[in-house]
């Protein structure tokens, strides 16, 4: 598909991309006053089916963000899900996709406005985050502190919150890294820019708790369940010290957008032997078998488009 010719869902209508416009003086344009979800869809060639992964859970989290931001909004859970399916079908995708679903404050108000609200849904073709020839990424610990529940709560998937991620990511790239990890105000490991993190130490899979200034990630929750129920791994949610990153056996990042990214080094120190670890490989295979519809056991997580 020519992505410039794709269709966009905008406030109840399906319109060409070039006609999907929001006024420059709207609060979402001026102040980043919007909440959003990033979803993934995976094409199963054998079944001729496109599956949206955990559509209901994403819609539920979007409504929680709306509530915490006190937007004037009457979208229902079912409406949010049906709208995603409608626009994906309109574009007739038969390949892996990413979908951005955003509820925004429109009109001519200011940063304190609660309405009127609109919504756009923008699907786009998108393959695997990590190319086949790549083994993983190299990251640093950011000099920027992660936002917290005391200032800009990271559990709200708010457009403006991602400026914190922007600062950390741009710093990392300028210094020759692929990405970064933030620390909390207490110096504990938090998450990456748009991704959560896991590490393996002494056979245990460890991840920061939701109180460590992280997004309540759907992918993170999924991987915890897969690790425990499918792979029989010991999973621990606890605070992580920075120095533990340097002596971890394995580290990987995860999220709807980044999928699963093995971390090969942190601050120029190899993680383990500097290659993707065996536990990470097992989790990655189990995850992709599920999200692409190759396993029936977790079919409730998949919403067919066609």
* CA dihedral sign, ordered 201, 206, 211, 216: positive
| Nearest-angstrom CA–CA distance, 284 and 231 | 11
Q: What is the CA radius of gyration of the chain?
A: 19
Which residues are the active-site residues? 157
CA dihedral 104, 109, 115, 120 (to 10 degrees): -20
Which DSSP symbol is given to 182?
E
Which residues are CB-contacts of 144 (< 8 A; sequence separation ≥ 6)?
Answer: 164, 167, 168, 171, 182
| Pairing relationship of beta strands 97-105 and 302-304 according to DSSP bridges | unpaired
Judge residue 210's burial from the number of C-beta atoms within 10 Å of its C-beta, 0-12 exposed, 13-18 middle, 19 or more buried. Answer: middle
C-alpha torsion angle, residues 223, 228, 232, 236 (rounded to 10): 100
């Amino acid at each position: 598909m020519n992505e410039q010719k794709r269709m966009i869902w905008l406030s109840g209508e399906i319109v060409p991309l070039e006609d999907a416009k929001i006024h420059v003086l709207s609060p979402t344009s001026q102040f980043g006053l919007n909440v959003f979800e990033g979803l993934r869809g995976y094409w199963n060639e054998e079944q001729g089916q496109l599956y949206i992964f955990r559509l209901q859970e994403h819609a539920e989290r979007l409504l929680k963000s709306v509530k915490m931001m006190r937007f004037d909004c009457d979208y229902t859970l079912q409406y949010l899900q049906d709208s995603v399916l409608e626009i994906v079908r309109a574009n007739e995708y038969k390949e892996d996709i990413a979908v951005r679903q955003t509820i925004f404050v429109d009109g001519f108000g200011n940063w304190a406005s609660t309405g009127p609200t609109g919504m756009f849904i923008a699907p786009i073709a998108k393959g695997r985050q990590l190319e086949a020839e790549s083994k993983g990424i190299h990251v640093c610990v950011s000099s920027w502190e992660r936002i917290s529940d005391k200032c800009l709560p990271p559990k709200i998937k708010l457009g403006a919150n991602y400026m914190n991620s922007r600062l950390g990511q741009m710093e990392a790239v300028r210094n020759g890294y692929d990405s970064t990890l933030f620390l909390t105000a207490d110096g504990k490991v938090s998450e990456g820019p748009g991704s959560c993190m896991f590490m393996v130490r002494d056979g245990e899979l460890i991840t920061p708790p939701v109180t460590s200034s992280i997004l309540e990630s759907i992918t993170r929750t999924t991987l915890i369940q897969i690790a425990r129920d499918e792979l029989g791994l010991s999973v621990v949610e606890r605070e992580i010290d920075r120095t533990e990153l340097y002596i971890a056996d394995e580290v990987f990042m995860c999220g709807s957008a980044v999928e699963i990214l093995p971390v090969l080094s942190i601050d120029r120190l190899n993680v383990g032997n500097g290659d993707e670890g065996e536990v990470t490989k097992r989790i990655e295979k189990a995850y992709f078998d599920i999200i692409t519809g190759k396993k029936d056991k977790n079919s409730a997580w998949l919403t067919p488009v066609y």
